[in-house]
Structure 1
Amino acid sequence: MVEHFNVDFVVTWVNGQDKTWLEKYNKYSDEDTLDVKNARFRDFYIFQYWFRAVEKYAPWVHHIFLVTDRQVPTWLNVDNKKLTVVDHSQLIDAKYLPVFNSSAIELNLYKIPSLSEHFVYFNDDMFLNRPIKKTDFFSKSGLPKDTAGLNAIQPMFDFDYIHENNMRIINQNFNKKEVMKKHFFKFINPVNMELNIYTILLFFWPRFTRFFDLHYPYSLRKSKMKMVIQSNHSAYVQTMNDRFRSKQDITIWLVRYYSLVNGEFSVRSPRVGKIYDLYTNFDAANKDIRNGKHKMIVINDDANIDHKMFKKISHSLRQTFEGKFPDKSSFEN
């Protein structure tokens, strides 16, 4: 039976160049030991094109929730009936504020007032790139669309500890052999394409080492997210106590992992999107934006991008997006 349900979009955004925000950040910045400070909070001034893309390519979206820390883009039409600006203080206990830890912020998204059961979570560097359907995110029966692939943790950076934290919880609560047997055709599936190779190589390893994290917009169910977070309360509290990202954190990926091991997802090709590092693949990202090769793209900042290069990339991205979306959306003044 086909269920009729609404799908909301949730997007988080920060302008790290804003003076008021910077004053608050600088008060606590000595605690920021894991993040790359010059790349984590930069704004390329292209966020209005996120809204133009949504309006053009996903007009079916029920509502958009913009989650910020007392910031609203000057161009944003806050009177749009399909838009609600949500402040951190509406989701997060005051004792944890201010918080600059994206992992901590994301763990509270299910608390957004009036959020639909089915929602898609975007970082502000994740863009719709051509027409997309509700069924690209959820099956007709309401299961999140996702790609299951096994992967291995390859320690190099402090951030790799976070993968280990998520996987420890999965291994404590699920038996890999039973999961792989029960959901074999979701982990080994022609739709998974090249990820099948990695999964086969790691198939008989006694415990889960890691899942492939396809850094695309996340299809989530509010009730399931609430269950996962509340079932791992101590890990949640540990993350919330870290004002900045820390080795001890868990992430929203844990919610996705629960869906994978429970088989509560519908298989989707990894080719639905593409991730571009703006330092190494800026030209390719620009080309994809112009041509719309992938339905979704992610354009990641990079710590190797200095101020001069940042300005050049920001200007070029604005030109490319303006060429693709020349008309203002109803979300702009």
Structure 2
Amino acid sequence: MVNEYFKIDFVVSWVDGQDSNWLKKYNKYSDKDILDEKNARFRDYNIFKYWFRAVENYAPWVNHVYLVTDKQIPKWLDIENKKLTVIDHTQIIDQQYLPVFNSNAIELNLYKIPNLTEHFVYFNDDMFLNKRVYPSDFFSKKGLPKDTAGLNAIQPLYDFDYIHTNNIRIINQHFDKREVMKKQFFKFVNPLNAELNVYTILLFFWPKFTRFFDLHYPYSFRKRDMQNVISANIKSYERTMNNRFRSTSDITIWLVRYYSLVQGEFSVRSPKVGKIYDILNKFSDIVKDIKRQNHKMIVINDNSEVDDLQFQKLSENLRQAFQTKLPQKSTFEIREQSCEED
């Protein structure tokens, strides 16, 4: 199927936290890693090849796939595939900031990927397509990113909540909530938004933005939007880039979304397009969704409470679930790979 609108690329970031070379580099600076849950943040469940199988089966129209890594390439990946380009951090991040283990910093540079199309979808490696998707699931015919606008409130509990505050502070500095809600009312209060409308209405008359809903699904972006947001907030960008690990002073790629939301530069999409699962507490639901394809996209979040023994068991069971649904190798995989590795 050819994308009848315009070219759309997929970008996915990946890290293998068990790789010895990567660990050597990480351990050199790990004493500065005070925000991340170390045993979960960089863990690889060995299911990444199914991300590629899902793309090939459920989004054959995609123009190109860019894999962003830190000098890591999965051993099964066919880097000769003309539809794939591996992007090393050195290609998009200035040398002064390297090595960087801060996902927030890495993601703020995605628009610098050479030859990336104007319209692209960004995936974390825990975000999977789960059944057939179409260009219209990610962008409107006019090229607007598909997204869901909903008001939310910051509920301080974790250090990461500071980052929500950093993003929202910038939005409140640059935009008047009353004017935004007047202009974008029918995008923030919309039948497609489902139950999010309740929260939005409850927070509607609050004088400042408190937070937006962050659905953590694959993100639809326009390259120029990301570049413009970074340029308008260069000091916040540089502060984030100087944090080798995630920090309470970071901004995130969500800020690009927020600018699109308040400016109305998006097309409304239902939040029911995807589902987020916790791998420890909702594992059976993950398997059911993969089998029954209840959602077009699923997110499988790791949990820091998963110990090494549970990790091995969950990894094996998750691979079995994906293998049952996506048994055929994709063209992104080396064809000579042994059956044992499959």
Q: Does the 8 A contact of 1:3 with 1:141 survive in 2?
A: no
Equivalent positions of 1:200-215 (< 5 A) are 200-215=201-216
- Deviation (angstroms), 1:211: 0.1
User: Separation in 2 of the partners of 1:289 and 1:172?
Assistant: 42
In structure 1, the partner of 2:48 is 47
In structure 2, the partner of 1:76 is 77
In structure 2, the partner of 1:242 is 243
Equivalent positions of 1:194-233 (< 5 A) are 194-233=195-234
In structure 2, the partner of 1:7 is 8
In structure 1, the partner of 2:338 is none
User: Separation in 1 of the partners of 2:137 and 2:238?
Assistant: 33
Tell me the amino acid that sits aligned with residue 151 of structure 2.
L
- Deviation (angstroms), 1:3: 8.1
The answer to whether 1:156 aligns with 2:169 is no
User: Separation in 2 of the partners of 1:85 and 1:282?
Assistant: 31
Tell me the amino acid that sits aligned with residue 169 of structure 2.
R
User: Separation in 2 of the partners of 1:279 and 1:251?
Assistant: 26
Q: What is the count of residue pairs matched by the alignment?
A: 332
User: Separation in 2 of the partners of 1:50 and 1:31?
Assistant: 31
User: Separation in 2 of the partners of 1:268 and 1:92?
Assistant: 32
Tell me the amino acid that sits aligned with residue 287 of structure 1.
K
User: Separation in 1 of the partners of 2:191 and 2:326?
Assistant: 35
The answer to whether 1:100 aligns with 2:86 is no
Q: Does the 8 A contact of 2:193 with 2:269 survive in 1?
A: yes
Q: Secondary structure at the match of 2:317?
A: helix
Q: Secondary structure at the match of 2:298?
A: strand
User: Separation in 1 of the partners of 2:231 and 2:72?
Assistant: 29
Tell me the amino acid that sits aligned with residue 206 of structure 2.
W
- Deviation (angstroms), 1:267: 0.4
Equivalent positions of 1:167-182 (< 5 A) are 167-182=168-183
User: Separation in 2 of the partners of 1:5 and 1:325?
Assistant: 28
Q: Secondary structure at the match of 1:131?
A: coil
In structure 1, the partner of 2:327 is 326
In structure 1, the partner of 2:314 is 313
In structure 2, the partner of 1:91 is 92
| Deviations, residues 274-300 of structure 1 (Å, cap 9, x unaligned) | 000001111101110111100000000
User: Separation in 2 of the partners of 1:131 and 1:273?
Assistant: 12
In structure 2, the partner of 1:17 is 18
Q: Does the 8 A contact of 1:68 with 1:86 survive in 2?
A: yes
Q: Does the 8 A contact of 2:5 with 2:135 survive in 1?
A: no
User: Separation in 2 of the partners of 1:191 and 1:301?
Assistant: 29
Q: Does the 8 A contact of 1:3 with 1:142 survive in 2?
A: no
* Large movers: runs of 4+ above 4 Å: none
| Deviations, residues 134-176 of structure 1 (Å, cap 9, x unaligned) | 0000001100000000000000000000000000000000000
Q: What is the RMSD computed on CA atoms of the aligned residues? A: 0.9
Give ranges in structure 1 of 5+ residues lacking alignment. none
In structure 2, the partner of 1:253 is 254
In structure 2, the partner of 1:297 is 298
Q: Does the 8 A contact of 1:45 with 1:318 survive in 2?
A: yes
Q: Secondary structure at the match of 1:86?
A: strand
- Deviation (angstroms), 1:230: 1.0
Tell me the amino acid that sits aligned with residue 326 of structure 1.
P
User: Separation in 2 of the partners of 1:88 and 1:33?
Assistant: 22
| Deviations, residues 38-96 of structure 1 (Å, cap 9, x unaligned) | 00000000000000000000000000000000000000000000000000000000010
In structure 1, the partner of 2:111 is 110
- Deviation (angstroms), 1:116: 0.2
Q: Secondary structure at the match of 1:211?
A: coil
User: Separation in 2 of the partners of 1:144 and 1:239?
Assistant: 25
Cα 1:143–1:3 shift into 2, 3 Å: farther
The alignment's TM-score, normalised by the length of structure 1, stands at 0.99
Q: Secondary structure at the match of 2:187?
A: helix
In structure 2, the partner of 1:188 is 189
In structure 1, the partner of 2:287 is 286
User: Separation in 2 of the partners of 1:199 and 1:304?
Assistant: 33
The alignment's TM-score, normalised by the length of structure 2, stands at 0.96
- Deviation (angstroms), 1:4: 3.2
User: Separation in 2 of the partners of 1:30 and 1:101?
Assistant: 14
User: Separation in 2 of the partners of 1:145 and 1:15?
Assistant: 30
Tell me the amino acid that sits aligned with residue 329 of structure 2.
K
The answer to whether 1:27 aligns with 2:4 is no
